[in-house]
Amino acid sequence: MSAIRQNLQAVRKQIAEAADNAQRAADDVALLAVSKTFGADAVIDAAETGQQAFGENYLQEALDKMATVRAQRPDLQLQWHFIGPIQSNKTRPIAEHFDWVHSVDREKIAQRLSDQRPEKLPPLNVCLQVNVSGEASKSGVPPEEVAAVAKAIAAMPRLRLRGLMAIPEPEDDAARQRAPFRKMHDLFTQLQADGLQLDTLSMGMSADMPAAIAEGATIVRIGSAIFGTRNYAKE
């Protein structure tokens, strides 16, 4: 069995254990395999174990990879999630080629994605990225602006607002990892109480997955624990 397949098995087991510890059902937590910097062969290897959802950060890399996978394995039914920073001049190919976008961080980007989503495709699933750790350098909407921006996005015709996403500051201590995730869960339940139909909290990466699941993550975005250490120099 390949390393990727072994890693996927181990990650699925860790998800089940973290869900069990939080008295949640394992299938309430979906696994997004973050394949950025890895090739079509790695995606196909993972897909052959039943993994369908893949996350990508870099547009051109992702478009090339999608085309290669589709040419080699037209039988695979994959779902592509864009999770990287979005420049406004890159929204059209994102709207045309992805099933989900987790990294919507301003209303203007959402409006462009809605305007550019092809009519023949279903509405684009989106999450609003929240700047939960509060550094000026990080993308995401500040927590106090989330309600207004979420309501604006929920009204856009070609988008389906599914929920919230965050990338908290790295933190080694497992107990301290939970605070930003708890804050995200509070924001999420507040939006639901305000009447928005949301089902997705996209949070948790290889280094903080159990803490995110403990606080209610419904999608965890896992890269290096599945595919190995990324080598950005190879790009």
- Looking at residue 6, its amino acid is Q
Q: Is 65 in the site for ligand PLP (CB under 6 A)?
A: no
The mark string for 16-55 relative to ligand PLP (x by CB under 6 A, - otherwise) is ------------------x-x-------------------
Q: Is 14 in the site for ligand PLP (CB under 6 A)?
A: no
> What crossing angle do the helices spanning 40-47 and 59-72 adopt, rounded to 10°?
60
Closest distance to ligand PLP from the beta carbon of 193 (Å): 27
Q: Which is nearer to ligand PLP, 39 or 190 (CB)?
A: 39
In the numeric block, the tokens 């290897």 are attached to 45
Residue from the set 111, 133, 139, 206 that interacts with ligand PLP by CB under 6 A: 206
The contacts of residue 166 (CB under 8 Å, 6+ apart) are 129, 130, 131, 132, 140, 180, 181, 184, 202, 203
Q: Which is nearer to ligand PLP, 42 or 158 (CB)?
A: 42
Residue 106, both tokens: 């301003």
Within 10 Å of residue 10's Cβ, how many Cβ atoms? Answer: 12
Closest distance to ligand PLP from the beta carbon of 162 (Å): 16
Q: Is 139 in the site for ligand PLP (CB under 6 A)?
A: no
d(CA 140, CA 143): 9
Which residues sit at the interface with ligand PLP, rule CB under 6 A? Answer: 34, 36, 57, 83, 167, 205-207, 221-225
